Amino acid sequence: MSLDTVKHATETPDVEQPWAELGLKQDEYERIREILGRRPTGAELAMYSVMWSEHCSYKSSKVHLKQFGEKAPENDALLVGIGENAGVVDVGQGYAVTFKVESHNHPSYIEPYQGAATGVGGIVRDILAMGARPVAVMDPLRFGAADHPDTKRVLPGVVAGIGGYGNCLGLPNIGGEVVFDPCYQGNPLVNALCVGVMKHEDIHLAKASGSGNKVILYGARTGGDGIGGVSVLASETFDDTKPAKRPAVQVGDPFQEKLLIECTLEIFRENLVTGIQDLGGAGLSCATSELASAGSGGMRVELDTVPLRDSSLSPEEILMSESQERMCAIVEPGKVDRFLEICEKWDVIATVIGEVTDGSQLEIFWHGEQIVDVPPRSVAHEGPTYHRPYARPDWQDALQADDANKLARPANAEELRAQILQLVGSPNQASKAWITDQYDRFVQGNTVLAQPEDSGMVRIDEDSDLGVAVATDGNGRYTKLDPYAGAQLALAEAYRNVAASGAKPLAVSDCLNFGSPEDPAVMWQFAEATRGLADACQTLGTPVTGGNVSLYNQTGEVAIHPTPVVAVLGVIDDVNRRTPIAFADEGQLLYLLGDTREELGGSAWSQVVHDHLGGLPPKVDLERERLLAEILISASRDGMVDAAHDLSDGGLIQALVESCLRGGKGARLVVPDALDPFVFLFSESAGRAIVAVPRSEELRFTDMCGARGLPATRIGVIDGAEIDVQGQFSIPLSELKDAHEGTIPSLIA
């Protein structure tokens, strides 16, 4: 079959093209023809199809995402915001930190190991492309029912992929979540986060400027993996002699990525690039069009110079391949030789594949024949914008009316004790050590907090002990009950987790996981959650610096719970002042901070004991969250508390069990007169934390809380080897440990 060149496309306007098989709508295809003034070539059609996909163009979500910019709070720390590979914030002492969370959900269901591994690899390259050294990763995960046979297939592969890739890179995995719920059956959520550190002057952006500057592709060779969902080979327009099936999921090589990281950082140190972009989703189609679109001119690429793993690849496949461990750099001609020398030193393949032009088009050639001639912005930044219809679902009122506060409660102290053991041994509340022990949390030697702490924390300057903390949170059950409040609760919990460890929250990245945008009910959930998150970020002063939207997360007609995962990054001046969750010193006083109300909607108790989802989630009070954070940060800095743990899923009793088991010390509690013992232990009211206060600091601490108007109730003391709720029950730590630690291994191992 002859090559479909620009000339041929111009001369044959009526050739049928497989736009529908490539995921394009008819009006989108007509729009491409209008932009080009002709039908697209096969290569151009391939580029538009991947770049105008939901994953790359955000066509259903960007009308809502713009709120993150419109409502962005004033924040002097923000150095790079939404629109680049990752956001960047100033953390002081000349340091900048970049972080981002993204999804790799669908590939991880198809091929759990490689899907999860390449999710880690992709987010690490996003951070690297900003000019930063990656220093830590995290992974918020969601799976189907813990006892479902397919969970046993998917979870171990995902965990092995995350651990295998991250451990080989030498990056500590410092946090994340693991949540089980039947709604994720057949559609697990595998979100990956990376944090990187650089000096302010080392920030790099994705743009191709300077006519005559060279375009260099470096890293792994390009293969046929990752072409998958667009089904290039189903089309008769493309060369039918090619292999009939390509792997849909990218294949990762962490050792190649490690070389790429060190090679790129040395290139940065010698100031050899004017622009850089990693190759992730949409591969070369994305990198070339985005670099050219953000630059000052055009770009010419000789596609046949791209190093291949498979010589049978067509031009369309090369453009769409999502092979891993690749980067694209813009380099001045006089610096090319040194750039290539460094790549050779690190055993990284590097090839000049084109140059920046003074024109306005992205032009791609194949053995001298022009196969692409497009305005780069039309590919990268001017894709379709959908105003999807959305409407509050007709079942929402009934769901909220099914009040969890009316569920049957334990009739006596014995039942209360039994339900506590049932809760702490349930899959979502049980220890995740079987999973996290497969990750190296302390490689590089700068990890100061990691799972199961409230937030992960790493030292970024060994002389001053400056550090950053990151937490990710998201409760799909809350968000199903009330998408606006649920998204705010996700932010509030991550914000609270960072503050509980002693760090000041600075900025947000998010991964918004939802069902099909073609369903008005799902689109309403998305619109409400986005609005809620934007409003809350504005109130708390934490700008959204970037993130990811993952749609079509559903099995058949059944969507997952709306699951906005929110990552909050904070800074701490001295990591030696960090606050752990462990209760370690007998005699210290336990204080409950915040107000406890009868709030059980979406709670862990309602799920574990009654398999129930209904009512309203806990109320959100963002000003209270801000005040609580200020108290926790001040108390940590000034040595007034030795341990702190936020209260969230499972309420006070869950936090208490985790802190007691972590420190190996028990606690004696007294139920406040104003509270029912059940509500005291199981309520999930937000804006609360439990702290361990040395007796010598009690007066100073309570005076601070009183002066600032934060309720602080003394509820007990660290003591013994059991949790003793006076007048109710006691449970030995050994019994709690067995319940807490045995669940996941028995289900998964």
Which residue from 419, 510, 431, 515 is spatially nearest to 470, judged by alpha carbons? 510
278: annotated binding-site residue? yes
Contact at 8 Å (CB) between 386 and 59? yes
Residues in the chain, overall count: 749
Q: Peptide bond preceding 18: is omega within 30 degrees of 0, i.e. cis?
A: no
* Residues pairing with 724 in the sheet: 668, 730
The radius of gyration of the chain's CA atoms, rounded to the nearest angstrom, is: 27
Cα–Cα distance for residue pair 98/472, rounded to 1 Å: 15
Residue 357: CB atoms within 10 Å: 18
Looking at residue 391, its amino acid is A
Cα–Cα distance for residue pair 656/203, rounded to 1 Å: 42
Residue 720: CB atoms within 10 Å: 16
126: annotated binding-site residue? yes
Specify the residue for token string 């000349």.
Answer: 94
636: annotated binding-site residue? no
108: annotated binding-site residue? no
* 312-316-322 Cα angle (round to 5): 85
Cα–Cα distance for residue pair 683/404, rounded to 1 Å: 11
Element (H, E) at 498: helix 483-500
* CA-CA-CA-CA torsion sign (310, 315, 316, 320): positive
200: annotated binding-site residue? no
550: annotated binding-site residue? yes
125: annotated binding-site residue? yes
| DSSP track, 349-390 | EEEEEEEEESSS-EEEEETTEEEEEE-HHHHHT---------
Burial label, 261 (beta-carbon count in 10 A; 0-12, 13-18, 19+): buried
102: annotated binding-site residue? yes
548: annotated binding-site residue? yes
323: annotated binding-site residue? yes
Cα–Cα distance for residue pair 322/329, rounded to 1 Å: 17
- The verdict on whether 740 is a catalytic residue reads no
Which residue stretches of 223-372 are H helix? 254-269, 283-294, 315-320, 336-345
103: annotated binding-site residue? yes
- The verdict on whether 55 is a catalytic residue reads yes
Specify the residue for token string 């690190």.
Answer: 346
β-strand 326-331 against 349-357: which pairing, if any?
unpaired
85: annotated binding-site residue? no
Print burial letters for 403-439: b (CB count within 10 Å at least 16), e (below 16): ebbebebbeeeeebbebbbebbbbbbbbbbebbbebb
Looking at residue 116, its amino acid is A
Under DSSP, is residue 621 helix (H, G, I), strand (E, B) or coil?
coil
Cα–Cα distance for residue pair 609/623, rounded to 1 Å: 32
104: annotated binding-site residue? yes
Give me the catalytic one of 8, 64, 104, 387: 104
Residue 503: CB atoms within 10 Å: 33
Give me the catalytic one of 55, 64, 204, 561: 55
Under DSSP, is residue 27 helix (H, G, I), strand (E, B) or coil?
helix
547: annotated binding-site residue? yes
235: annotated binding-site residue? no
* Residues pairing with 590 in the sheet: 692, 716
Contact at 8 Å (CB) between 46 and 316? yes
Print burial letters for 551-562: b (CB count within 10 Å at least 16), e (below 16): bbbbeeeebbbb
Cα–Cα distance for residue pair 579/635, rounded to 1 Å: 9
Indicate the annotated binding residues for substrate: 103-106, 125, 250, 322-324, 550
- Binding site, annotated residues for ATP: 58, 100, 510, 547
Residues known to be catalytic: 55, 104
Going by the annotation, the residues of the binding site are 58, 100, 102-106, 125-126, 250, 278, 322-324, 510, 547-548, 550
Annotated binding site for Mg(2+): 102, 126, 278, 548
